[in-house]
Amino acid sequence: MFPQESSSSKKLWPVWVAFGLPLLLILLNSMPFAMDFVFVVLGIPALLFVWCCLGIWSLVLTVRRCWRRQFSRAVVSAILPLVIFGAGLRFRGFINLCNVGGDVLHFMFVRSAYLKEIRNTPSNGEPRLIIFNRGGMIWASRGYVYDESDEVVREGSLRSASWKARADGTELTCGYDAEPFPGGLWFSRHWYIASFNC
């Protein structure tokens, strides 16, 4: 079940697993099924469980290699348990990183379709406010907000009456948390990653 220590082709497997699983989670979070209940409740925990099992095995290898004075190989095998330990200390931040990374990747895949929908939506002289909901659970979902007035991230008292009227009847009325795309990229101007409480 676990990689064999004697295989020379797998000397660096702890490094690949340490950084490969978070990248896999980001990729999976960009897929359409990422908001599916089964994936969230069973798929992600299963992947994290496998990651932890491999981390335990890598820790065992680290101890054995230290005992045999194979210190360079012990350092390589110690990387995976250290990364898992760090992710465990900041678990919410780690999961948020994977979610946001998946949201950014998904956005890059579907941006042209979103822009087409925006072009087909008349502005009526007002800045456009459009919600693209990726889906989620009954009680929470994730998606994107396109807000030409950029009021979605302002405090409630600082939002204009016209913005509140445009937001009325959307996911924004049931509570949300919105943040700009990381890095302030040019193609994400007026776009926000959002979590909706509905």
Strand positions, DSSP E, the chain: 129-136, 141-147, 176-180, 191-196
- Could you read off the pLDDT of 143-168 as tens digits, one per residue? 999 999 998 988 878 888 888 888 88
Query: Which residues, 6 or more positions from 27, have their beta carbon under 8 angstroms from its beta carbon?
Result: 102, 105
- Could you read off the pLDDT of 16-51 as tens digits, one per residue? 999 999 999 999 999 988 888 888 889 999 999 999
pTM for this entry: 0.81
